[in-house]
Amino acid sequence: MPTSAKAAKTYKILSINFEEFRDAYQDGIVPIIKPLDSDIQAIHGLNPEAHVLIAIVPIKDAGDVLKQSTKNYWTRPKFPNTIDLKQVEYFVPYISGKGIRDIYQVTKIHTGTKKDLVPECDDDRMRLVFEVKFLKQLFDDFKPHNLQIWHAFTDTSIKSLLQVKPTIRFVDLFAGIGGIRLGLEQAAKDLGYETHCVLTSEIKPTAIKVLRQNHPQEDIYGDITQIKADGIPDFDILCAGFPCQAFSFAGKRLGFEDTRGTLFFDVARILKEKHPKGFILENVEGLVSHDKGKTFSIILDTLNQLGYRVSYRILNSKDFGVPQERKRIYIIGSEKETVSLENFPVTNKKVGIILEKGLQTSKSKFVKQLLSVYPPKSLIGKKIKDKRGGKDNIHSWDMELKGNISTKQKELLNKLLTERRKHKWATDYYHIDWMDGMPLTVDMIREFYNDPDLENMLYDLVDKGYLVYEHPKKLIKEGTTTKRIPDPSLPKGYNIVAGKLSFEVSEILDPKGYAPTLVAMDMHRLHVIDGDGLRMLTLKEGKRLFGYPDNYKMDVPLKEGYDLLGNTVVVPVIKAVATRLLETLEK
């Protein structure tokens, strides 16, 4: 054994198999540490009183370390040559720090001078000199195969080390603004884990902007279809909110016929190649019923065939302390045990808790006209649309938005609004499949509203834009979806000019109630009462309606922010299901 030139203190080398050590500290059992047979003298430059570890790590797992290095240094005197005198070590500076003193790639060499050395890989491993207080980062970052400890620990210090938990490594696919990641990180933190994202994939420029604001040190990768699975670093959990528009009730529901729907198979491709311990998937509730359940069955079969125990459940965000009615399906997979998604504790909060006060209100023509007819407080909880009736609904004709009309015309519109939804017009008159809101001919209308001036009233309402004169629409099937097109063979009739996005304001939120499901296309139409006026939701309020903390950065224009929020996840629900997954993986 080599001896330093200076006086040296003798130590025993303690060797620990990492896998056994890891299993032991997770089970709360102090491992048995057996010293090696031989003593070794301290090496020149090593502080005899410091706790120093030599971690042995496969080179393939330390690629990122080497990649960050700027230079190799000849450091033979710094490293205890305990294996063979015919070896040489190279020191690689580790830029990120975290307590690593030195990193060595140990190579076997032939005799000769430095320039004549012929390196030969030493069992494809690296040595890292580590201070004891940074043992946790050593476990988390490098997953060493075994440790050689250059200081005998006391029972107390070993027990304290046993409390260290490994880092949860994950990928965030179709990341959006990072909601699934945030929920997972919050769950891991509460359970004592640290987290490390090894890959984030997102293609939407505005979403990437927000991701970079919150994770400035990380690279954001683009199109997932172009990312090779075998090039992704190993990870424990896959997170993916794969595109929902292909399955959403708000979209055309083309499913796998929509290229966005086929992106699920990129998730499956990565799961197959990397086979992490678990995954968290989120999508719209319409995924379950799409194509009579066939789409969802394919997804479940695919995940089961990959060897995962899969559980799923539709959860409503209003039960998780977020004042929004938002039902989404959560699909959780574990390689060992099925994750229970039952019996989550229910926490209900109302819209009032997320609202700011004293902000600037809208001065638009629409809002001014609305407030000229209705006092602000009377608008609380009201919806403004011409598609439905009910006491909580305001119609365009109630506020004469499109022009002045008579009391009789208002009566006619209210009657037509409900009559047009009856099945008899489709089955007994047009002989077509029923649709919710049939155009009705003058003769049909006379059956429930017979006024001598009916035709003139109808013409005037068409002229002012309250009604449209159109053909009924027949139902046709295209692939797995259906749509309606006008049928010129049927007589034209009068129909309400309706649509969810008809007006500048679609709903005034009730502070004592819940917000509806917020979607990108109409989030800007939701308003709240502020003082004596109406205004749109702020981005801060929008973030709160999805469970994001106020300090989550979202420095984008309001319209872009609405679009991003309407497509994001509800963080507290993700946190709840992620907690269940992590607890299951701990068992």
pLDDT: which is higher, 120 or 472: 472
Residue 365 lies in a domain: no
In this structure, are residues 269 and 563 in contact, taking their beta carbons and an 8 Å threshold?
Answer: no
What is the structure's pLDDT at 19?
Answer: 46
Task: Tell whether the model's pLDDT for residue 226 goes beyond 50.
Answer: yes
What is the structure's pLDDT at 259?
Answer: 36
Average pLDDT over residues 181-208: 94
Q: Which residue has the tokens 């066939």?
A: 294
What is the structure's pLDDT at 480?
Answer: 64
Residue 157 CB neighbours (<10 A): 13
Query: Are residues 187 and 301 part of one domain?
Result: yes
* Strand locations in 24-65 (E): 34-41, 52-58
Residue 523 lies in a domain: no
Task: Tell whether the model's pLDDT for residue 42 goes beyond 60.
Answer: no
Task: Tell whether the model's pLDDT for residue 586 goes beyond 80.
Answer: yes
Residue 550 lies in a domain: no
User: Model confidence over 376-396: pLDDT tens digits?
Assistant: 999 999 999 887 777 888 999
479-483 contacts, C-beta under 8 A, 24 or more apart: 479/254, 479/257, 480/254, 480/255, 480/257, 480/290, 480/291, 480/294, 481/252, 481/253, 481/254, 481/255, 481/257, 483/252
567, two tokens = 């497509």
What is the structure's pLDDT at 165?
Answer: 63
Greatest mean pLDDT range, 164-173, 223-232, 295-304, 359-368: 359-368
Name the band, by pLDDT with cuts 50, 70 and 90, for residue 431: confident
Query: Are residues 409 and 278 part of one domain?
Result: no
Q: Of 161, 189, 210, which marks where a domain is finished?
A: 161
Task: Tell whether the model's pLDDT for residue 567 goes beyond 50.
Answer: yes
Residue 538 lies in a domain: no
What is the structure's pLDDT at 390?
Answer: 77
What is the structure's pLDDT at 522?
Answer: 86
Query: Are residues 322 and 180 part of one domain?
Result: yes
What is the structure's pLDDT at 530?
Answer: 97
d(CA 524, CA 535): 10
d(CA 416, CA 438): 10
Question: Residues 6 or more apart from 114 whose CB is under 8 A from it?
Answer: 74, 88
Query: Are residues 117 and 32 part of one domain?
Result: yes
Query: Are residues 304 and 392 part of one domain?
Result: no
Average pLDDT over residues 512-529: 94
Average pLDDT over residues 16-21: 43
Q: Where are the alpha helices (DSSP H) in 333-430?
A: 365-373, 407-419, 424
Task: Tell whether the model's pLDDT for residue 135 goes beyond 70.
Answer: no
Name the band, by pLDDT with cuts 50, 70 and 90, for residue 141: low
The rounded percent of the chain whose pLDDT value lies above 70 is: 68
Average pLDDT over residues 20-37: 38
Q: Of 496, 530, 552, which marks where a domain is finished?
A: 496
Q: Which of 26-35, 370-379, 557-566 has the lowest mean pLDDT?
A: 26-35
What is the structure's pLDDT at 375?
Answer: 94
Query: Are residues 154 and 196 part of one domain?
Result: no
Residue 378 lies in a domain: no
Query: Are residues 195 and 83 part of one domain?
Result: no
Q: Which of 49-53, 179-183, 230-234 has the lowest mean pLDDT?
A: 49-53
Closest CA to 174 of 273, 283, 258, 305: 283
Average pLDDT over residues 554-583: 96
Average pLDDT over residues 396-424: 93
Query: Are residues 189 and 76 part of one domain?
Result: no
What is the structure's pLDDT at 389?
Answer: 73
Query: Are residues 230 and 214 part of one domain?
Result: yes
Dump the DSSP string for 446-482.
HTT---TTHHHHHHHHHHHTSEEEE--EEEEEETTEE
What is the structure's pLDDT at 381?
Answer: 95
Q: Which of 33-42, 162-171, 255-264, 327-336 has the lowest mean pLDDT?
A: 33-42
d(CA 12, CA 34): 10
User: Model confidence over 451-465: pLDDT tens digits?
Assistant: 999 999 999 999 999
pLDDT: which is higher, 384 or 483: 384
What is the structure's pLDDT at 533?
Answer: 96
241, two tokens = 């909110």
Name the band, by pLDDT with cuts 50, 70 and 90, for residue 144: low
Name the band, by pLDDT with cuts 50, 70 and 90, for residue 499: low
If you average pLDDT over every residue of the chain, what do you get?
A: 75
What is the structure's pLDDT at 133?
Answer: 45
What is the structure's pLDDT at 295?
Answer: 85
Average pLDDT over residues 327-332: 96
What is the structure's pLDDT at 199?
Answer: 95
Say which CATH number the domain at 580 has.
Answer: 3.40.50.150
Residue 66 lies in a domain: yes
Task: Tell whether the model's pLDDT for residue 6 goes beyond 70.
Answer: no
Task: Tell whether the model's pLDDT for residue 83 goes beyond 50.
Answer: no
Name the band, by pLDDT with cuts 50, 70 and 90, for residue 175: very high
Q: Of 161, 176, 192, which marks where a domain is finished?
A: 161
Count of residues making up the chain: 587
What is the structure's pLDDT at 406?
Answer: 95
* pTM reported for the whole predicted model: 0.69
pLDDT: which is higher, 292 or 502: 292
Name the band, by pLDDT with cuts 50, 70 and 90, for residue 290: confident
Greatest mean pLDDT range, 66-80, 136-150, 286-300, 569-583: 569-583
Residue 558 lies in a domain: no
Residue 78 lies in a domain: yes
How many structural domains comprise the chain? 3
Query: Are residues 456 and 491 part of one domain?
Result: yes
Show the domain range for 230.
Answer: 168-350+566-586
Active site (catalytic) residues: 244
Query: Are residues 331 and 398 part of one domain?
Result: no
Query: Are residues 399 and 344 part of one domain?
Result: no
What is the structure's pLDDT at 462?
Answer: 95
Average pLDDT over residues 43-71: 39
What is the structure's pLDDT at 263?
Answer: 83
